[in-house]
Amino acid sequence: MKKILIIGGGAMGSAFSIPCLENKNQVIITEPYNKTFIKNLASKNKFHSSLKIGLPNKLKFKRYSKNIFKNKFDLIVIALSLAGVDFIGKELKDLKIKTPLLVLTKGLKYDKKKNKLLTISHLLKKNYNASNVSVLKGPCLAKELAKKNKTSVVIASNNIRIAKWIGNLISTKYYLTEYSKDIIGVEICSAIKNIYAMIIGSGQNLNTSSGLFQKSMIEMKYLVKYFKGDEATVLGLSGIGDLYVSAAGGRNSKMGDYLGKGFTFSYAKKKFMPKDTVEGEQLAREIAPYILKKINKKKIPLMYHLLKTIIHNKKI
């Protein structure tokens, strides 16, 4: 039995606790700022408002404070929004935490001073002195994982031994893990697939969307290679696998559908998806200052056009 701390009580962090508990680990979950999730997790039946299920009784909830790190954990899981990564990175740095980290959060950060795009693992290492960072990505919808539907994910780390150690902690008959040393490629794929899911969703019919899917794959391979990842990763779970599940029915493809119907992003968001987080839009605004200036638009015409569409609030 290992002791696991999950930081982030949203849908994915909470769903992830289920296979961890099933492997007879002691799991503590905490939520730094979302009042709804704090209320959910602190309730007697732990009914999660996003997952629409009661979480296992064995899951222990503790209110977030720096004191939580006085406990000795074998693994710390970061399942916060992209905005929360800097917050928890600073906390871990200040407390000099050296526990292995597993990042579920998907996204990229733009370093304005150095004009660079950073993966989350690079951000934690560069800005917050984290030394033992692995990432878990792939086609995993939180609601389906919570129902114990068969799910395949990839754990990436510079140290494959650590990745496999984590896999042994969390793998079950329905939660299957693969491993990769291409941490850059895995993170790039898992982030940009949200943008390409919007593009594919804009197709309005299967024929058009299929063509956009194929062209999206070409651009993803180019971008992974550009950022020094392995092109082959695009054909794995964090690439084509995650893109498929996102394009098949996620929030990003839903927004893409509205864009394809001729609405601007701001109108569609306000009119049809006022309470939904559209990760592709958030990422687009984050990376646009770099992508639009540094990368040849002829190499990534689909992404280039969508970034322009969102940041200038134009029709697609």
For 205, the domain range is 184-311
Distance CA 43, CA 254 (A): 32
pLDDT of residue 153: 98
> pLDDT tens digits for 16-40?
999 999 999 999 999 999 999 999 9
Whether 145 and 228 share a structural domain: no
> pLDDT tens digits for 79-112?
998 889 999 999 999 999 999 999 999 999 999 9
Does 222 reside within a domain?
A: yes
Whether 157 and 240 share a structural domain: no
Which CATH number is 48's domain given? 3.40.50.720
Whether 37 and 105 share a structural domain: yes
Spans of the chain, pLDDT less than 50 = none
Among residues 31, 25, 34, 308, which one has the least CA distance to residue 168?
25
Whether 127 and 38 share a structural domain: yes
Whether 77 and 212 share a structural domain: no
Joined tokens for residue 206: 């299967």
Question: CB-hemisphere CA count at 13 Å for 7?
Answer: 27
Alpha-carbon torsion, ordered 297, 298, 303, 308, to 10 deg: 40
**Of 181, 212, 246, which residue is a domain's last?**
181
Does 34 reside within a domain?
A: yes
Does 316 reside within a domain?
A: no
Whether 13 and 145 share a structural domain: yes
The percent of residues above 90 in pLDDT, for the chain, comes to: 96
Distance CA 106, CA 258 (A): 23
Question: How many independent structural domains does the chain possess?
Answer: 2
pLDDT of residue 250: 85
Among residues 158, 225, 152, 149, which one has the least CA distance to residue 192?
225
Whether 92 and 30 share a structural domain: yes
**Of 128, 156, 181, which residue is a domain's last?**
181
Three-state DSSP at 280 gives helix
Among residues 210, 214, 246, 217, which one has the least CA distance to residue 231?
217
Whether 237 and 295 share a structural domain: yes
pTM of the model: 0.95
Whether 175 and 241 share a structural domain: no
Range list of H helices, 129-177: 142-146, 160-170
